[in-house]
Amino acid sequence: MSPEPGSTSTGQRVSLHELAGFFLRLGVTAFGGPAAHIAMMEEELVRRRQWLSREKFLDLLGASNLIPGPSSSELAIHIGYLLAGWRGLLVAGSCFILPAATMVAALAWMYARFGKLPAIAAVLYGVKPVVIAVILQALWGLAGTAVKSTYLGFIGALSVLLIAFDFHPLLLLLLAGVAAALPMLRTPKRAAFGVPSLAAVGASLSAASASFSFGSLFLVFLKIGAIVFGSGYVLLAFLRADLVVHRGWLTDAQLVDAVAVGQITPGPVFTTATFIGYLLGGIRGAVVATAGIFLPAFVLVAASGPLVPRIRKSKIAGAFLDGVNVGSLALMTVVTFQLGRASLFDLPTIAVAAVSALALLRYRISTIWLMLAGALLGLVVTHFHPI
């Protein structure tokens, strides 16, 4: 049975103040992209605070991956809705997004004024290995819950293989869900779940004028937020097609810088929109672009959130969700491997990752302290040995 809004899976009450405090802190410290954000939520909300069971967390993760938009932001919104209803939905999502958007807007101001980005490579040098350790810990715990049978384990392993060969993430999740549900299809009777045609929504919004206006800026990012699945690289492709090629609002160099800022700041990668909005229309443009790209996430979670418990009650739909869950973990596994290759490239970074993993698994040290220690170490190491 699902907990009542405002209470955890163990019956503990969760206030809006507690919810806001956690997601504000996460929005300030969650470096590393969606996989890291998801891992930090699992470590804090499932392991430490026990606000959610691991099974419920996996269900919300699977539901978030099935709709377009920023998956970690949508997971935060799902969690807020589950724990505190509609107010929790708004509080969790806003508190996770706003700190990152504010930081990105500040960087955009510096970029517009000085023509370059502030140097933060030293901080990231020490933080990235900690992020890898956090993700690996989450994967280990979640896999133990998600892989309920040898058959699901096979689906997960096959999913990893397909992703490694650039199989489309959304198609993979759907196939994993169908494969998991097949053994349950013993009769012709089947359940159908309606999914809105977001491609049609995107097509209807694509007629914005090439001349700049705040209205057209909002529509461009509303369309992108409503149809983009996948990583920051998929977002880059959509942004370039709309803003560089079709409208000529940005140069390629500006777009690359905008995506870089979204990647290196904590919180959702989609705050790239904040940077672009500021370059095009100052503070007002930053607000309009940010609202446009994140609005679909709130709407889609509000529409799909109430369906998650109903899906789990159906044997066929529940099996489908089990498949989606192992597919989601396969996506995280491949992303972690790719991040690891880029982040663990010398003895200090490997050592930081190993010590962080030990601190998390054995001594239960908070990820916040590990992030701060990693950042400080990065500054010290790169001072004596520039990267």
Residue 30: other Cβ atoms inside 10 A: 29
Instruction: Give residue-wise pLDDT tens across range 186-244.
Output: 644 444 444 444 444 444 444 444 578 999 999 999 998 987 765 555 576 678 878 98
- Please check whether residue 17 lies inside any domain of the structure: no
Reduced to 3 states (helix: H, G, I; strand: E, B; else coil), residue 13 is: strand
Tell me the two tokens of residue 247: 């409208």
Q: How far is 235 from 238, CA to CA, in rounded Å?
A: 5
Position of tokens 């990647």? 263
CA angle, residues 13, 16, 22, in degrees to nearest 5: 95
- Please check whether residue 265 lies inside any domain of the structure: yes
Instruction: Supply the DSSP symbol for 48.
Output: I
- Please check whether residue 220 lies inside any domain of the structure: yes
* Amino acid residing at 135: I
Tell me the two tokens of residue 335: 């992303």
Q: How far is 94 from 204, CA to CA, in rounded Å?
A: 27
Instruction: Give residue-wise pLDDT tens across range 251-310.
Output: 887 887 787 677 678 888 899 999 999 999 999 999 999 999 999 999 999 998 888 888
- Please check whether residue 284 lies inside any domain of the structure: yes
Specify the number of domains making up the chain.
1
Q: How far is 332 from 65, CA to CA, in rounded Å?
A: 11
- Please check whether residue 237 lies inside any domain of the structure: yes
- Please check whether residue 34 lies inside any domain of the structure: no
The pTM (predicted TM-score) of the whole model is 0.71
Segments forming the whole domain that contains residue 222: 198-294
* Amino acid residing at 164: A
Q: How far is 176 from 182, CA to CA, in rounded Å?
A: 10
